[in-house]
Amino acid sequence: MKSFRFSIIGVFITVSFLTMSPFAYSQQGLFQSYNPVNLSQPTANSYLNLMVGLRKYFNSFTSWQLPNNTGPQDPISRLEYPWDQTFLAIRGSTAYTGLEVNMEWSGTLSVLSNPKAQDSDWLDPNNPNQKTTFSDADATPRCWTLDLGCNMQIPGFQSLRGVAGYRTSQFKFTNTDGYQYSIYNDETGKYENSSQPLPGASIEFSQYYQHYYAGGILDTSINVDEISRGLIFPALLVRVQGDASYITGNSHDQHLLRYAVGIISSRGFGWHINLTTGFKTGSFRFDAEGDIRGIQTSGSIESIQQDETSGLISTQFFNGAKGWSEQKYLGINGTLFF
């Protein structure tokens, strides 16, 4: 619920800022309007550019959970995958008569990650809020995001642009060399401590999201000369983007030490805020950026399991599954204008 409240507040503040800010109008002095179409200068109406950047994620994770189909536990199981990866980002852009089109890909440079994957269970139906089993393991995340977007200046607002697009992302993890702790025996229904190593790969998990988003961009610049006491500096370019999205999700969880597969289909919403600032000299621009986004979805799960005693395979469908994610990064970019 905290993430839900934060996401609603974040989108509200961003939209309010973009629509009410005086910088959305043409300014003189310290602030001035910034139209990226005019910066490339090959012609008056068009440009091309190529951006390459590095992004360091922190306090980022993706998760899913499901309720008990027959008991009071909600959740009965939860998987959490934090990561601190460094991503490579590549973006190509073009613009013509005020319309800007962007295509961006970003993905992990390395599968090594310090945070460990976490797997928790609540197995006691008589005490549904008591976590009974916990394990952690190396995660080896492999993640990528593809973003196709366009934006256009809003008539009457010199620095304000509307933005819309499609964003898709995939997160894959393999739980390896884990260790499991338990305080409850679900076969006897009694509390007893136990632990065991989980050598090798134990869980394959993948999560796939599709975003259809819309929002706004405040595109302006600051005349650094006005505050630098006569020193000559290029204008500090500032771009703030906020958008909200309708999201469909698909998560796949496969336990490798036993035959158990969970497939979640979910729908929900997302939010995203990005602040980019930098300098442009000639045909090159250098930027620093901060980005934060959230995802909340819910839906149904198809659970496929094999009974360890009889060997029979059963399939169940039930609602109440949830998938969510929070992602934060700081990045640096270099852009070449043609």
Q: What is the pLDDT of residue 309?
A: 77
Region of poorest pLDDT, from 43-57, 195-209, 218-232: 218-232
Q: What is the pLDDT of residue 70?
A: 86
The answer to whether the pTM exceeds 0.85 is no
Q: What is the pLDDT of residue 227?
A: 57
Phi, psi of 155 (to 5 degrees): -55, 130
CA atoms 219, 98, 279, 102: torsion sign: positive
Please, what's the b/e burial string for 6-41 (b: 16 or more CB within 10 A of its CB; e: otherwise)?
A: ebeebbeebeebbeeeebbeebeeebbbbbbbebbe
Q: Label residue 78 exposed, middle or buried (CB < 10 Å: 0-12, 13-18, 19+).
A: middle
Helical spans, DSSP H, in the chain: 2-20
Spatial distance between the Cα atoms of 74 and 338, rounded to a whole number of angstroms: 55
Q: Per-residue pLDDT tens for 310-330? A: 878 889 899 999 999 999 999
Q: Per-residue pLDDT tens for 190-211? A: 999 999 999 999 999 999 999 9
DSSP state of 11: H
Please name each of the domains of the chain with its CATH number.
Answer: 2-337 (2.40.128.90)
Average pLDDT over residues 39-46: 43
Instruction: Please list the residues that pair with 243 across neighbouring strands.
Output: 215, 272
Q: Per-residue pLDDT tens for 78-94? A: 999 999 999 999 999 99
Q: What is the pLDDT of residue 181?
A: 97
Half-sphere exposure of 303 (CA within 13 A, CB side): 17
